[in-house]
Structures are given as C-alpha cells and as structure tokens.
Amino acid sequence: MTASRNALYGALLLLPAAVLLWVFTYQPILATLGNSLYSTPRGRRASVFVGLDHYQTMIADPVFWKALTNNAIYALTTIPLSMALALAMALFVNAKLRGQGLVRMAYFTPTVLPMVAVANIWMFFYAPDYGLVDQVLGLFGGGGNNLLGSKETALGALIVITIWKEAGFFMIFYLAALQQISPTLIEAAELEGASRRQIFRRVTLPLLMPTTLFISINAVIGAVRLVDHVIAMTKGGPDNATVLLLFYVYQVGFAFWDTGYAAALTAVLLVMLALIALFQFGYADKRVHYR
Amino acid sequence: MSVQLRTPSLTLLVTLGAWLLAIIWVSPLLYAVWTAFHPPAYAARFELFAPLTLDNFARVWNAAPFARYFLNTFMLVTLILVCQFVVCTMAAYAFVCFPFRGSNVLFMIVLLQLMIMPEVLLVENYRTLSKLGLLDTITGMALPYLASAFGIFLFRQTFKSVPKELEEAARLEGAGPIQVLLRVFVPIAKPTYVAYGLVTVSYHWNNFLWPLVVSNSVQTRPITVGLQVFATVEQGIDWSLVTAATMLSVAPLLIAFLIFQRQFVQSFVRAGIR
C-alpha cells in the first residue's frame, strides 16, 4: 500500500479521536494558559488583559498556599501508606491462607464503590457519638470527637478514607506481579542459604520495582484528580483545613464564578502534572529498566 | 510464586494478620449495612436479634427519584462505553496499520491525556459545553471522555500483537480495511474489550465531579450526584436514610462485582499491566 493511501486511511480513522481530544483536552489546556492572563468577565464588563495579576493574587492568597500544603501532605501520606498496605495485602493474599478468597474480597471491595458513597459511609463511621470510631474512642475515655469538624483531625480523616479506598486497588497489581515471579529464583536464593528476609529484600522487592513505579504514578494522578470526598464531606472546611488544589479550582470556578483566577489555579495544576510526567519519562523509567 | 510458609507459628501469625486487616477493612461497610437494614432505633447499637427491615429503603426510594438517577447513569455509561469502543478502536487501528510520517509523535501527544484528565480542565470544558449549548445534558457529560488516551493505548498494544499473516490473508481474500478491522482485529482483541469495558464502566458509574458541575436537573443527574444531593438535604438528621440511600446507589455495581469478582480483578490487572 502506498504512503499516501496510508496517510488518507490513517487520517480518516484518527479524525473522531483527534477532534474530541483537541476540543476537550488540548484546546482547553491552551485556553487555560491564555485565560489565566485575562480578567473574569462580569456582567457587561468584558474580560481585559491583566498580565500576571492573577498569579500575583495567588502568591498573596493564603487559601492557595493552604491548598498547596494540604495537597502535599495529602499526597505524601496517602501514597506511601496505601502502597505499603497494598504490598502487605498482596503478600497476605499470595501466602495461600485459609479463606484467602474472602480476605481478598474484603481488601478489594472499597475500590468498586464511588467516592461519594465512600464519603457517606465514613461520615457515619466518623459521626460524633453515633459512629463506630467515636464509640471505640469512647471506650478509652475519649468520646464526643467531631473528627471531620475540627481543624486538627479533618485532613487526617480524609487521608484515612483515601487509603481505605485505594489500597485494595493497588494490591491487585502487586498480586499480579508477585504471581509472575518465577519460583526458581526464590529456590536458587534458598539454596544459597538466603534468609526469608534477605529473599524479600534482594529478590522480591527489586522485581516489584516496575509495578511500584506504575502504581505510584497512578497514585499521584489520583491525589490530584480525586476531590469528591472533599466536596461530599467537608467542603474544604473547617477553616480551609481540607482544601485541596482541584477542590479550590472547583470552588473558585463554580462557587465564586471567578473563572480568570480559576484558570490561573488550573495552570499551576497543569504545570505540576507536566513535571510529574517529565519525571516519569525521563528519570524514573531509566532507574527501573534494569532487566 | 507461591510462598511456602513452613513454620506453623508463622503461618498462624500471617493468617491472623491477614484476617485482622480484612475485618478492619470491611467494618465501615458492614456498619453502614447494619444501619441501612435496621430501624433507626438500632442505628448505632448492636443487638444480635434486632429486627431487620427494608423500611429505610422504601422511604429513600419514595423520597428522591432514584429510579431516574439510575436510568441517567445507565444512559451515560452506555453512551461513553459504545463511543469509546468505536473512537478508540479506529484510532488504534490507524496507529498500528496505517502509520504515516509523524504518527508516532502524534501518539505521544495523545498519551498526554493519561496525565491531564478531563476533570482537571473542568473550568474550560464547562465554558466549551455552554458555547455548544450542551450544559445539563447527558451528551455533554459524556463528551470529554469519548476519546480516551488510555483506550487508544490499550487497543494499540493489543492490535500490535495480531500476526501480520492473518491480516494479509484476509486482504488477499478481498477484504477492505474496515472488514479487516472487524473480522481480524476486533475478534482477537475481545478480552481487551471486556477488560477495558469493565474498567470504564466502573470509572464512569462512580464519576462525580464533572457530572456534578454539568448536571442541574433530575433528568440528567447520575446516581452519584443524586446521592450527594439527597445526603446533603438529609445530612446528620437520619443516618438510617443516608446509609440506605448509599447502599441503594452502590448496590448494582457491588452485586455485579461480587458475582463477577474474578473477571473484575483480572480485567483491572490486564488493563493496568501493559
């Protein structure tokens, strides 16, 4: 087949995807960057070019910094903890125990629930006096806690929920990876007299590195993308203790209707995601492909 | 690799640990299930012989148009699934069988969407939908997701593994490009379609933020947004109702998951490993 016919068929087949991706991914990326330099149109006042005004506002905006720190804390706790738990779960399930199927189901079920439903389940679980958490705390003489309502504990409460929902999802990837490790490798290590701990550290863990990278990229995207529980449980409160970046974008864009500022905030998110992508393609891929 | 735990005491320890974690993991869910199936008097109290009831579900069903919400979700998910299959199949086929100069670069650009998903761009996408006059429609809710980089990537990987001979044999028999696609590539990729289908159905059944922004009426609201609207009104007043509504809204997917557990897990792995 000739090159020009290839190009024609290729172009026709790609057309729907190209149009959709342009309109809903690439065009909005460019428009976000552009609109972040314009004021928000209000009533009869059209938007005017304001240069970097929005970014100056952002630097002076304590809520933005709060959202940024919250998001950093949120990512740096949920990601390692849920991945460590996921690995533990995978090792448990892989160890061929009694009731293995039930255990795996228990770990994985939260994953298929929508975050909004998870939020409702946990709101009840956390509820002061009613919830199981508070009842258990009450046994130790510390009842009457409003975990979601106090500044000190609200973000932690959301972190726990995220770990609960994500760990089981990550577990299945570790489980699949564990099942692909050849038993001869383990046997060889045993013949050499390696202890179980040595085998885990020197054989199993390195072989799980590609999976770990894959999961961590997914986890990072999740930590940026998923704010359903913030909307359903705390609305960013109390006193902005649970504001995450995308939630702040949503709030500025659809509660305050300040679309210009929302565009600037989105631009920051885009830059962060781009940096993560560069890290993945450049640095991390090289470190992991040792085989 | 199956780990042989030779010492009985270690086996016991691991079993206990696994079960303890499992019990902790399901307890929030079971606590909500308990409350949903018991009269409000037993909302947070355990009594083994407390009377079971479906009353909470009846009250929820009558208090909000959940049937309509389910229908909306069903229409949304079906629309997205069918269109994604068509759009992503076509694009993947083009990348594998009709490469042209620059098509590899184009593919890399497509992959950008793996990182920057439509949710992140919700302010601009909202503006676009309002220009198109598609706010508060199910079509509008679906549009940003119809071309999925993940789907294109996954189908491309599968299509690349199809032997060239099969493709050429079909062509020698006089099949055109579309027939080759439908008779050779699509049948071979069936497991990938099942895997991708399950992943995308559970993603969009559970999706919340974008539908929340776009939908504004009972006629378009999917179940996740409907649940949120219901729970916000009822919040903190009647936990029996909130938990019953939550259980009701997760029931279809949860039951499907419990029945097809193995397929679900395998699909997620198959879609993720590539």
**Rounded Cα–Cα distance for residues A52 and A38 (Å):** 9
Residue B224 within a domain: yes
Which B residues 51-70 touch A at CB under 8 Å?
A: none
Give A282→chain B minimum CA distance, Å.
14
Residue B41 within a domain: no
CB atoms within 10 A of CB A252: 24
Q: Taking the mean position of all CA atoms in its chain, how far away is CA A249?
A: 16
Could you please state the CATH topology (level 3) that the domain comprising A64-288 is classified under: MetI-like fold (1.10.3720)
Quote the pLDDT of residue A2. 64
Residue B39 within a domain: no
Q: Supply the range of the domain harboring residue B98.
A: 64-273
What mean pLDDT do residues A34-56 have? 86
Quote the pLDDT of residue B121. 94
Residue B147 within a domain: yes
Task: Say yes or no: B115 and B181 in one domain.
Answer: yes
Task: Say yes or no: B161 and B248 in one domain.
Answer: yes
Task: Say yes or no: B171 and B264 in one domain.
Answer: yes
Task: Say yes or no: B147 and B24 in one domain.
Answer: no
**Rounded Cα–Cα distance for residues B115 and A119 (Å):** 25
Residue B227 within a domain: yes
B124 at A interface, C-beta within 8 A? yes
Rounded to the nearest integer, the mean pLDDT of chain B is 86
Quote the pLDDT of residue B152. 94
Report how many domains make up chain B. 2
Residue B36 within a domain: no
pLDDT at A287 over 60: no
Quote the pLDDT of residue A1. 52
* Residue, of A31 and A5, whose pLDDT is higher: A31
Q: What one-letter code names the amino acid at A281? A: F
B72 at A interface, C-beta within 8 A? no
- Residues B14-70 have pLDDT tens digits of 888 899 999 999 988 888 888 888 887 777 666 676 778 888 888 888 888 999 999
- Residues B119-171 have pLDDT tens digits of 899 999 999 999 999 999 999 999 999 999 999 999 998 999 888 888 888 88
Quote the pLDDT of residue B120. 92
Task: Say yes or no: B153 and B268 in one domain.
Answer: yes
pLDDT at B92 over 60: yes
Task: Say yes or no: B13 and B79 in one domain.
Answer: no
Q: What one-letter code names the amino acid at B95? A: F
Quote the pLDDT of residue A284. 60
Q: Taking the mean position of all CA atoms in its chain, how far away is CA B233?
A: 27
Residue B94 within a domain: yes
Quote the pLDDT of residue B2. 45
- Where are chain A's structural domains? 64-288
Quote the pLDDT of residue B1. 44
| Chain A hits for B109, Cβ within 8 Å | 26
- Residues A122-151 have pLDDT tens digits of 988 888 777 788 777 777 777 667 888 888
Task: Say yes or no: B10 and B111 in one domain.
Answer: no
Residue from B25, B38, B42, B238 to probe the interface with A (highest A Cβ count within 10 Å):
B25
Task: Say yes or no: B134 and B221 in one domain.
Answer: yes
pLDDT at A237 over 90: no
- Residue B198 sits in a domain whose CATH number is 1.10.3720.10
Quote the pLDDT of residue A280. 74
What mean pLDDT do residues B202-222 have? 93
Q: pLDDT confidence of A283, banded at 50, 70, 90?
A: low
Q: pLDDT confidence of B272, banded at 50, 70, 90?
A: low
Quote the pLDDT of residue A290. 41
